[in-house]
A and B are shown apart, each in its own frame.
Chain A
Amino acid sequence: MSRRDLSIVLHLFLGSARLQKKRAFLTIASIAWGTVTILLLLAFGEGLKRQFARNEQAMGTNLAINWPGETSKVWKGLPEGRAIKPRIDDIPLLQQRMPDVQVWGEMSNSRTLIQYARKTVNARVIGPNWVYGDPRRHYAMPGGRFLGPQDEEQKRRVVFLGNELAEDLFGKENPVGKTVLVNSSPFTVIGVMQRKTQTSAYGGQDKDHAVIPITTFRALFGRDKLNVVVVHTETEDEMESALERMRTFFAGRYSFDAKDERVFGTWNTVKGQRISAKIFLGMEMFFGIIGALTLVIGCVGVANIMYAVVKERTREIGVKMALGARRGWITGPFILEGLVYTLLGGLAGAVIAILIVTVLGLLPQEDMKVLEFLGKPTLSWSIGAATVAILGTAGLLAGYFPARRAAAIDPAATLRYE
């Protein structure tokens, strides 16, 4: 298109827009409505997804929890059905063998008496290696900390409390630095876990348990058999091979077939993560399609209005053709109209949707249980890009089809005097 074409099309477009304020307004409003719908649907979907991921990840990601069990294959003359019981001391060796991933052991006691002043509760006590903290998302509230390597080395009597357990014991009091009795032995509270919404767990919710160093646990309860061995990898893809290497290590140490997959009952969270990702992709697509359809309906409305205009103006279009309008000068204003109205409507809709999302984002989430699971509607760049793409195409189509009809008008036939 040359500059001359452009200026003619603009001239004609501005002329018709000036005459059609009401139509322009209605068109823009219907596109705006479609845009608000699609953006809000996608924003809610995104919020839901992020919240779900956050809740699901509250336990940690890329974890495999392995419960030791019995062998199911005969191996070098040894019978099947032997119980395999990894010990605390295996962990440093295992970690040495696979330095690229993180491993730890955990021991636990389900109903253990914990006392503070007059308060007594029964809670789960966990004794993991100190590395447990970060991958298991045990972040301390300000003023406190999680277990460290020295606590483990020196078998310190320190305890990290789940936030609800801390509240049960201390109420509004600050627990850090206080002494509690765990199984009648005094322990110093070094930290309280930050609040989190957790939707997956093994053994129990993190907020309800107490964590002490694994070495202290051994001394306190006189055991050294691990309840679980946990493997944590950086990426999802590393997990399979890491688990295989772990089995090989224990197979050598306890004499069983490394291919015996029944020795450990394994919960590989990577699998669940992958399924969730697919479910959420499906959900996003579903929301996206509904939103897009709403928008398409808006655009069909625009096209419809413009079709009517073409029909109503057939004679005028014929006159313009008689006066020397090229085809592009007839179609250009229609296409421009479709685009400009869609873009203005899209812009208005985006502003409204952003306002709504921002206002919802300001609501305090902690006080609303629903929001804890639904999450906050979130607009992302990819949502924006998808919406712009849909709007753009729809706008072009909304203008294109009526324009094509206008261009097909035969001036000689229209100008025939009736």
Chain B
Amino acid sequence: MTSDIIHMQAIRKVYDTGKIKVEALKGIDLAVKPGEFVAIVGPSGSGKSTLMNLIGCLDTPTDGRYQLGGEDVSTLDRDALADVRNRRVGFVFQGFNLLPQISAFENVEMPLVFGGVGLRERKQRVTELLDRVGLGDRMEHKPTELSGGQMQRVAIARALAMRPDVILADEPTGNLDTSAGGDIMQLFADLWAQGKTLVVITHDMTLARRASRVVEVRDGRIIRDVASAEVA
């Protein structure tokens, strides 16, 4: 047993597209403890998003052992993985990935519906979360009626809804201008300060430096794993 939230050993991921096989991850060992704020950096195509999909149980590794919150998830079936995603992971994407036809409120509510949370508690939690990300007055707005920064804040509220073990963010500021990106980085920093565990993929060294730890991926391998103070 381990106290790590994320515990990966010798993880490999091979994409088999029929003609060619792409080895996106070539043996990853990664352990993340509760309360850490990990930034994953690396060049395009190095395997960062692949790694995040595996951490978030959106995909399964080709080889290796993976424990999430102490639970071995490499052997779970699809529905069990869905439950793990629902309870343990909160995703934040570069492209926001909000459901466009329903309101901010309903977007944040969605994981709670899947989690079997009752109507009254859903309402209370969603209101609280949207207040927390500063969108208490935008609850009934559709995503298209919100700015990029606001959309990403809705997505963060959604990621927090089920009180997951870890928040996973893939280039969360990639689609935002500097000011909106700064707000989002501040939000992540606040969440970390409140004790949340965060894994954030980024190109942005300013954001990476706010993390407690920086992991650099290159060509499917971790080539550097240091405390952020050591990053130049």
Contacts and interface: CB of A to CB of B under 8 A. Distances in A.
Given A19-B101, A411-B58, A324 B115 contact: yes
Interface in A1-17: 4, 8, 11-12, 15
Given A412-B53, A416-B49, A322 B58 contact: yes
Contacts of A15: 102, 106
Contacts, number: 76
Contacts of B101: 19
B170 interface: yes
B93 A415 contact: yes
Nearest to A5: B116
Interface string A383-418: 000000000000000000000000000111001111
B111 A324 contact: yes
Given A324-B83, A327-B82, A417 B106 contact: no
Interface stretch (B4-12, B26-34, B84-92, B124-132): B84-92
B82 A325 contact: yes
A321 B85 CA distance: 8
B99 interface: yes
B121 interface: no
Interface in B69-89: 78-79, 82-83, 85-87
A415 B97 contact: yes
Interface stretch (A33-41, A219-227, A312-320): A312-320
A288 to B, nearest CB: 41
A412 to B, nearest CB: 4
A417 B173 CA distance: 13
B153 interface: no
A417 B170 contact: yes
A415 B97 CA distance: 8
Contacts of B162: 324
A323 B110 contact: yes
B94 A323 contact: no
B99 A319 contact: yes
Interface string B36-55: 00000000000001000100
A181 to B, nearest CB: 90
B59 interface: yes
Instruction: Give the contact-size bracket for chain A.
Output: 20 to 34
Contacts of A329: 114
B68 to A, nearest CB: 13
Nearest to A416: B49
A8 B113 contact: yes
* Of listed B83, B116, B158, residue having the most chain A CB within 10 A: B116
B165 interface: no
A326 interface: yes
A6 to B, nearest CB: 12
Given A315-B97, A324-B85, A417 B78 contact: no
Contacts of A324: 82-83, 85-87, 111, 114-115, 162
Contacts of A4: 116
Contacts of B83: 324, 326
Nearest to A320: B110
Contacts of B93: 415, 417
A418 B95 CA distance: 8
Contact of A316 (B56, B99, B171): B99
A411 B94 CA distance: 15
B99 A8 contact: no
Contact of A323 (B86, B95, B100, B106): B86
A188 B135 CA distance: 102
Contacts of B78: 326-327
Contact of B114 (A19, A325, A327, A412): A325
A320 B115 CA distance: 12
15 contacts: A315-B97, A316-B100, A319-B97, A319-B98, A321-B82, A323-B111, A326-B83, A327-B78, A327-B79, A329-B114, A415-B58, A415-B93, A415-B97, A417-B171, A418-B95
Interface of A: 4, 8, 11-12, 15, 19, 315-316, 318-329, 410-412, 415-418
Given A319-B97, A417-B94, 18 more contacts: A4-B116, A8-B116, A12-B113, A15-B106, A19-B102, A316-B100, A321-B82, A322-B58, A322-B91, A324-B85, A324-B115, A326-B78, A327-B78, A412-B59, A415-B93, A415-B97, A417-B93, A417-B95
